[in-house]
Chains A and B, each alone.
Chain A
């Protein structure tokens, strides 16, 4: 079995990517409407420096922000061959796949990466919203199973970072079957006594929210992320009422007891390192009060790196 695909050196990647700088060097924040210089936005990992609005962040970019020194390896996953339903709407499913593969350079909407986080091995399964809306089909479900088995094999925590509109309609009933499959996957991790942590980013809805995304031992969400089962428009059409302020946003879910924490993107890495260290209950893990989390977890991190 060939788990390992490519070894990513972020600095080299950054050099390559400089070639495609967009013509528009300024981006307007949808929330505060301020203009942000593209380099500034990139440095802030797509968080608005004026109002802290979290914009979507490409999967690979996010992985670089999470792993030690931005270094990780991706796992070769089984891909979809052909089109199981021969699905065609206005467009053929195979053409939609081709388009997404061309624009993202990925095979499907899930990337499984492994590497060190705070010196400890972790497996990250991250969804790629730009690949057909992060929709969950057979390949994605199988990818989660592979991620879970790798976590068990390496005795590492599994972190699932979600962004998805739900099941991939073009795979019909087979996409619905990924709900039980993904749940079996994360339960293999839990049954091995390993942490399964979810990071819900914008958006996490439909069949993804109603399966592995909502079953984390610890559920973290990004500020402002839309998280829910039914789409807001469907709900409005059904009940014929306007929805309450902030409905289905991360903060709203926190208030209603549906998630553990809402964490700023810049603090996510420290948060994950701290939680995993506490759950692992190793000697090197200093249990520190959450109030001073930022500084303390950085401290733990440095200590780890020093010990290496």
Chain B
């Protein structure tokens, strides 16, 4: 059973009615069948209007939806022969970042991403997608491995942010993130990133200093969580809705700001309503991006990636 968000009350009601009728329609009444299709049209219309004009704060809710497909779902669907790789060779393995070797539509790749988990056990195991330094150091190791074997890197970004903890700080959370960004920028092979849910601050950019950065339609990507921003600038987390709006964290805004290359559309009512379809649409976009990048001369891939970042935001400056 799908969980509904606050702003989906009318959709939830229609869905409830529909489920009831569907039970009855087993009997085979034609009138009921008519009513079912009428309701289905209504639901579709309601989804279209609601999801066509989501506010920034509503997008944050959608991006965090518990049933939204997560990194492991993308890997399951898109990657053949997936071979997970573990550990930073220094301290431990951090399950908040998963990654490994695999084949994506015929080509060998290294895939890396943050995983949030889908129930209590897996959420705890993956630390709600909040990596510690070991996670970033594993990512660094995997990216370097990819480069050595001339494999492209695909990253899937979905994290509330890097984990704020004593051990994480002691083991150099800041250094690990900085080094991970540096590694992204140093690769001679293409790297493609997709923000699939929540792109939370430094914890996200650590895996997203890529040649091509895309966002799913209802994903968000921000320098700070709306709650965090509100508690600093408005002195109360209750202003999160205003903060979300002010931060311009939606895919539509980021495309306008020149921070992302493209938006990957989601099925009607967002990815959690049709995960397989959503995942395959992301697969298509990754495939296109890789085709384009792999057609480039190998010597320019790194330079183009750096130039991409060097020019972001430049038009906001005096010369």
- List the interface of chain A (C-beta within 8 A of B): 78-82, 84-85, 87-90, 138-139, 141-142, 145, 167, 169, 171-177, 179-181, 183-184, 187, 205-207, 209-215, 227-231, 234-235, 238-239, 241, 243-244, 247-248, 252, 256-258
CB distance B317 to A229 under 8 Å? no
User: How many angstroms from the CA of A214 to the CA of B248 in the assembled complex?
Assistant: 28
Quick check: is B316 within 8 A (CB to CB) of the other chain? yes
Q: How long is the Cα–Cα vector from A239 to B167 in the complex, in angstroms?
A: 11
Complex CA distance for A212 and B257, rounded to whole angstroms? 23
Smallest distance from the beta carbon of B303 to chain A beta carbons, Å? 11
Q: Per a CB cutoff under 8 Å, which of A78, A87, A183, A229 touches B182?
A: A183
| Contact residue among B168, B178, B206, B259 (Cβ-Cβ distance under 8 Å from A177) | B259
Q: Does B306 contact A (CB under 8 A)?
A: yes
Cβ-defined contact, A177 with B181, below 8 A: no
Q: Evaluate contact between B316 and A235: CB separation under 8 angstroms.
A: no
Provide 19 A-B residue pairs closer than 8 Å at the C-beta atoms, listed in order of the A residue. A88-B246, A138-B313, A169-B224, A169-B229, A173-B247, A173-B254, A177-B309, A180-B184, A205-B174, A206-B202, A211-B177, A211-B178, A211-B202, A213-B174, A229-B168, A231-B164, A235-B164, A243-B166, A248-B169
> What is the CB-to-nearest-CB distance from A214 to chain B, in angstroms, rounded to a whole number?
4
Cβ-defined partner of A210 (8 Å) among B165, B178, B314: B178
Cα-based distance from A139 to B317 in the complex (angstroms)? 7
- Taking CB as reference atom, which chain B residue is nearest A79? B318
Bound-complex Cα distance A183 to B108 (A) = 29
Q: List 6 A-B pairs, minimum CB-CB distance, nearest first.
A: A230-B164, A209-B174, A89-B233, A210-B177, A229-B174, A229-B173
How many B residues have CB within 8 A of the partner chain? 55
B174 and A214 within 8 A (CB): yes
- A257 to B184, alpha carbons, bound, how many Å? 24
Mark contacts of B159-192 with chain A using CB atoms, 8 A cut-off: 1 yes-contact digit, 0 otherwise: 0001111101111111101110110111000000
Q: Tell yes or no: B4 within 8 A of A by CB.
A: no
Taking the nearest CB of chain B, how far is it from the CB of A192, in angstroms? 15
B202 to A229, Cβ gap below 8 A?
yes
Nearest A residue to B177 by beta-carbon distance? A210
The complex places the Cα of A88 from the Cα of B233 at a distance, in Å, of: 10
B314 neighbours in A (Cβ, 8 Å): 138, 142
Max count, chain B CB within 10 A of own CB: residue among A145, A230, A244: A230
Residues from chain B with a CB closer than 8 A to the CB of A228 are: 169, 173-174
Interface hits, B219-243 → A, CB 8 Å: 221-224, 228-229, 232-234, 242-243
The CA of A214 and the CA of B175, in the complex, are separated in Å by: 5
In the complex, chain B residues whose CB is within 8 Å of the CB of A177: 205, 259, 309, 312-313
Q: B313 touching A145 by the CB < 8 A rule?
A: no
A26 CA to B148 CA, complexed, in Å: 62
On whether the beta carbons of B164 and A172 are closer than 8 Å, the reply is: no
Q: Which of A81, A167, A180 is the most central at the interface, judged by chain B CB atoms within 10 Å of its CB?
A: A180
B310 on the A face (CB < 8 A): yes
- What would 10 more interface pairs be, CB under 8 Å, given A90-B234, A174-B312? A90-B233, A138-B316, A139-B317, A174-B316, A177-B313, A179-B181, A207-B223, A210-B174, A229-B202, A239-B164
Q: Which of A78, A87, A89, A90 contacts B318 (CB 8 A)?
A: A78
B216 beta carbon closer than 8 Å to chain A: no
Say which residue of B223, B228, B232, B242 sits within 8 Å of A173 (CB atoms). Answer: B223
Contact residue among A176, A215, A256 (Cβ-Cβ distance under 8 Å from B223): A176
